[in-house]
Structure 1
């Protein structure tokens, strides 16, 4: 039996995908900012290739987006907007591969980095390679959206990589054709067959030898190493404290209340505290870690004054923020900003002077 959103291991979803979906909603007349805030997400934090959003918040946002837009074909629309650089190290690795087959194999190996609950398995039959897509989690009404985004996104990716539609390829979808699909059929450059026994992308074996336009052996090697490192880090950071931190990192308003985070993760406040304690963490320490990192970003990358930064971080005034920052780092915010902006200064995050 597959896990549900509430019980499955939560590796999070890249925030950049929700940012892209929010931009898409804006083009069709939906107030995407209001929708994000109602889900408890900070719109300004989503335009990042590094941050991840908890699975429960991502699912709630997508569900509300479909309902409030009245557009069940959002997954297909999103697939058309998925440019390869948005996929982080995996996108770079795929783009720098030598052949289409090599690129697709990489996608299958590292898909967890971008879509944790999807799996791609390949089998060769006759003259075709079948790339079957399955999900190890019960997504309920989101299943169609996820599969639309993934499979039609692969079609978009193939065109970006080779410069043309991959000849002879087609998409197989389980179940009957949805009523909305006829509005999008002409936008998809390959045949789509519903009523299949599996969700899959079919590509002629001969087409797997097609050359990638951006092939770069040196970049391919370095980006694959980054994928390996990121995959190891992601799977190792699967503890409860990491899940709590993800919610804190993208929350609005900031800092979030403990009750709000507990509700997002489908646990009681007492359970949240206990599970963090079991991992040697605390809610307040996680909030302070995120605060410190955000403070460093704002001091280095914006012209915001200390009062504005204090307000953004949830402090009553600049004096409280300054005391906290100095307690954490051993230097004042102004000293940190001056040092960080010096020519040749090393780019680094502020660190706790004595730990939390």
Structure 2
């Protein structure tokens, strides 16, 4: 028996995918900004390539998107928008592979980084390679959407890598064909067979030797190392405090109330406090950490004045924000901004914010 979305491990979903979905909704006449805010997500935060959205919020957004758009095939539509660079280090590693087979090996190993709870396993049968896709948790309404986006996205990925749709590629889907699929069948460039016992990509073994157009051995090695590091970090970030933090990071309005975060995660206020205490954390500590990191980012990368930053971070005024920032870092926001500019690091990768001891 599989765990449900509310009881299983929540590794989150990359925020950028929900941003893409929101843009897609806009093109078909849905007020995506209003929908995001109703779910409690900050549209601006979803554009980050580093943040992940809690699974309950992602599921609620997708479910409402399908209902309000009247389009159950949103996953197929999204698959067309999934360009390889949007997949972070995994996308870079795949793009710089030597062959299609090398790229699929990376997808098999690191898919969890981009699509939590989906697992790919390879099986060879005669002249065919079967890449079986399974899900170890009941994702509810999110499951069909994710499976559509992943499988049909791989068709697009193959074309991006090799320059054309991979000859002989086909898709197998479990269960009966959904009614909405007939509207898409003519636009999908590979055969799709429903009623199979597994969800799978089936590729002729000979096609796995197809060269990738963007091969770069040095970039492939460095990006694969990044994938390994990210996979280890994701595993370490599987605790309850990280689940709470994900909700805080993408919440609108900011900062969210404890009761709202607890409701999002399907626990009581008391349980949330207890479970954070068990991990030597507190809700206020997590809020303050997110506030500090967002404050530092705004000071480094925007021209917003202190009053505007204070408002964005949920402070009553600039004075309260300044006192909190100085307490956290030992320096004032203005000094921090001036030091950053003087050091000439404004265009470099953001450093970890120093926290006063």
> Partner residue of 1:126?
126
CA distance in 2, matches of 1:343, 1:329: 17
Deviations 1:198-234 (A, max 9, x none): 1111100000000000011000000010000000011
Aligned mates of 1:165, 1:48 — CA distance in 2: 30
Q: Which runs of 5+ in 2 are unaligned?
A: none
- The SS at the match of 1:341 is helix
Rounded to whole Å, the distance in 1 between the matches of 2:334 and 2:32 is 35
1:79 matched to 2:82: no
Which residue in the other structure is 1:220 paired with? Answer: 220
2:275 counterpart residue number: 275
CA distance in 1, matches of 2:206, 2:169: 11
Contact persistence 1:296–1:349 (CA under 8 A): no
Provide the secondary structure at the position in 1 that maps to 2:111.
Answer: helix
Query: Matched residues in 1 for 2:32 and 2:342: separation?
Result: 38
Q: Residue 180 of structure 1 corresponds to which residue in structure 2?
A: 180
| CA deviations over 1:231-266 (Å, ceiling 9, x no partner) | 001101111111111110000000000000001111
Contact 2:5–2:140 (8 Å) recurs in 1: no
* Offset, 1:140: 2.5
Q: Partner residue of 1:294?
A: 294
Cα-to-partner distance string for 1:76-110 (whole Å, 9 max, x where unaligned): 00001000011100001111110001100110100
Structure 2-normalised TM-score?
A: 0.98
> More displaced, 288-297 or 185-194?
185-194
Q: Which runs of 5+ in 1 are unaligned?
A: none
Aligned: 1:353 with 2:344? no
Q: Would the aligned equivalents of 1:78 and 1:149 in 2 still touch at CA under 8 Å? A: yes
SS at match of 1:157: helix
Give runs of aligned pairs for residues 192-207 of structure 1, distance below 5 A: 192-207=192-207
Moved over 6 A (4+): none
The normalised TM-score by structure 1 is: 0.98
Q: Aligned residue for 1:152?
A: 152
Matches of 1:224 and 1:146 in 2, distance apart?
24
1:178 Cα deviation from its structure 2 partner? 1.2
How many angstroms does 1:343 deviate by? 4.9
- Alpha-carbon offset, residue 143 of structure 1: 2.3
3-state secondary structure, aligned to 1:201:
strand
- Give the total of aligned pairs: 354
**For each residue in 1:47-74, what CA deviation from the matched residue of structure 2 results, as whole angstroms up to 9, or x when unmatched?**
0110000011000000000001000010
Q: Which residue of structure 1 aligns with residue 307 of structure 2?
A: 307
Q: Distance in 2 between matches of 1:150 and 1:349?
A: 33
SS at match of 1:143: helix
8 Å CA contact 2:255–2:314 kept in 1: the answer is yes
Is the CA contact (8 Å cut-off) linking 2:59 and 2:141 kept in structure 1? no
Q: Does 1:249 align with 2:249?
A: yes
The aligned counterpart of 1:21 is 21
Paired residues of 2:93 and 2:220 also in contact (CA < 8 A): yes
